[in-house]
Amino acid sequence: MLLRTVFAGAAVLSVFAAMPAPAQQKSVKIGFVSTFSGPTAVIGNDMRNSFELALDHIGRKMGGLPVEVIYENDEQRPDVGRQKTEKLIQSDRVNFVVGYIWSNVLLASLKPVVDSQTFLISANAGPSQIAGELCSPFFFSTSWQNDQTPQAVGEYMNQKGVKSVYLIGPNYAAGKDMLTGVRATYKGKIVGEDLTQWPGQLDFSTELSKVRAAKPDAVFVFYPGAAGVQFLNQYAQSGLRGQIPLYTAFTIDSLSLPLQKDLALGVPGAQHWVNDLPNEANKKFVADFRAKHKAYPSFYGAQSYDAAMLVNSAVTAVKGNLDNKDGMRNEMRKANYASVRGPYRYGNNHFPIQNFYLQDVVKDKEGNLTLQTVATIVKDSQDQFHSRCPMKW
């Protein structure tokens, strides 16, 4: 008897779950997953500030519907990220899930989102798996595929005539992608590589000793967030700074610069967006962000700003009919909005085909350290995994 009641209850519940959402919703619901606690909370905050700024710029309405955002903290942990994502899908019934700093968190969270046919817009992480075999019609990136930026750095090292390099990065999905990226384009000799325990290991004395012994022409490093500060610190303390030039990806940004200070001077990096890119959308974004938060936005923020604008373009194109998922997808594939990086296209796997720039650290008029564009390293770069993605359009 009891069993039968339970089954009946379950049946009723499943009917409710299967019922289609009402044709016209009252609002656009967006779930935003990022890191809002711990040492990397500064990144999450910067993403939230930029996302909110984008919403302000569009009057907090998309296609005539008010926008509601639910922020969730993934604590930089894949298990927590997945749990929060499932909550957004199952109990909040969001129309879009946006965010994700960390590739390992995104990889853990992808399936529940795309299985429920909800759009996921990654505003940072770009693991190679999602560009390749795991690509999905419900996934879009407003950032890059992880390998693209280090590929640009590899290109730049070729241009500089670097003969040998030592690679160091953290041992997780993105770290492996970054080192693979350098290997794909760099033509010189790779004399050594180290993947360090992530995110626990913050003392790099062992690795720096190995670098000193290997005597490379240059060192390539990828350490996002606070770890980038620690690495530059220890690089200077070990006496390697000034002896062996450092090349970076995602290690020096406007969030880590206030801590890295002069240690970041003269250390080149590659980036698809720099705060001084001369397009109208970017000028407005950077100026309004600085007026509101008294600091430069980071690339994490720029990508989140773009994510809001991409979602806006999709919802506007279907005039707020959020059930028209094909319509929204077709619109997003055009990248038909004013991106702060300038115009770009989407590849078949929904990753951007875009330029990468060389960035350098300089002092602005008020004496603050900031990043500036020096040159274009590669034009219209497409990731190397798109051919493994079966999606065609």
Partner 1 sequence: MLLVLEQCLNGLQLGLLLFLVAAGLTLIFGIMDMVNLAHGSLYMIGAYFAATFVAWTGDFVLGAALAFGATLLVGMLLEVIAIRPLYGRDHLDHVLGTFGLVLFFNELVRIVWGPAGLRVPLPDWLNTSVQLLPGLSYPTYRIAIIVTALAVALLLYILVMRTRLGMLIRAGASNREMAGALGVNIKLLYTLVFGLGAALAGLAGLMQAPILTVQIGMGENVLILAFVIIIIGGIGSIRGAFVAAIMVGLIDTIGRAFLPDILRLVMTSRGAATVAPALSSMMIYLVMAIVLVVRPQGLFPVASK
Give residues in contact with partner 1 (CB under 8 A).
38-39, 41-42, 45, 171, 176, 193-197, 200-203, 205-207, 209-210, 212-213, 226, 229-230, 233-234, 236-239, 258-261
Q: Please state whether 59 falls in left (phi above 0), alpha (psi between -120 and 50) or beta.
A: left
Compute CA distances 139 → 68, 319, 325, 329, 385, whole Å. Answer: 20, 21, 12, 9, 15
Q: Exposed, middle or buried by CB within 10 Å (0-12, 13-18, 19+), for 39?
A: middle
Q: Which residues of 181-194 are buried (b: 16+ CB within 10 A; e: fewer)?
A: bbbebbebeebbbb
**Residue 292 or 319 with smaller CB distance to partner 1:** 292
**Residue 85 or 370 with smaller CB distance to partner 1:** 370
Residue of 218, 239, 232, 238 lying closest to 261 (CA atoms): 232
Q: Least distance to partner 1 from the beta carbon of 108, Å?
A: 18
**Residue 158 or 237 with smaller CB distance to partner 1:** 237
Q: Exposed, middle or buried by CB within 10 Å (0-12, 13-18, 19+), for 373?
A: middle
Q: Least distance to partner 1 from the beta carbon of 153, Å?
A: 19
Determine phi and psi for 112, rounding to 5 degrees: -60, -30
Q: Least distance to partner 1 from the beta carbon of 208, Å?
A: 9
Q: Least distance to partner 1 from the beta carbon of 160, Å?
A: 25
- Strand pairing report for 352-363 and 269-271: antiparallel
Rg of the Cα atoms in the chain: 22
**Residue 195 or 338 with smaller CB distance to partner 1:** 195
**Residue 90 or 243 with smaller CB distance to partner 1:** 243
Q: Least distance to partner 1 from the beta carbon of 229, Å?
A: 5
Residue of 282, 288, 327, 289 lying closest to 309 (CA atoms): 282
- Cα 159 off chain centre by: 26
Cα dihedral: 331, 334, 336, 341 (round 10): 140
Q: Least distance to partner 1 from the beta carbon of 344, Å?
A: 31
**Residue 66 or 258 with smaller CB distance to partner 1:** 258
Question: Which three-class secondary structure state does DSSP give residue 295?
Answer: coil
**Residue 218 or 259 with smaller CB distance to partner 1:** 259
Q: Least distance to partner 1 from the beta carbon of 7, Å?
A: 41
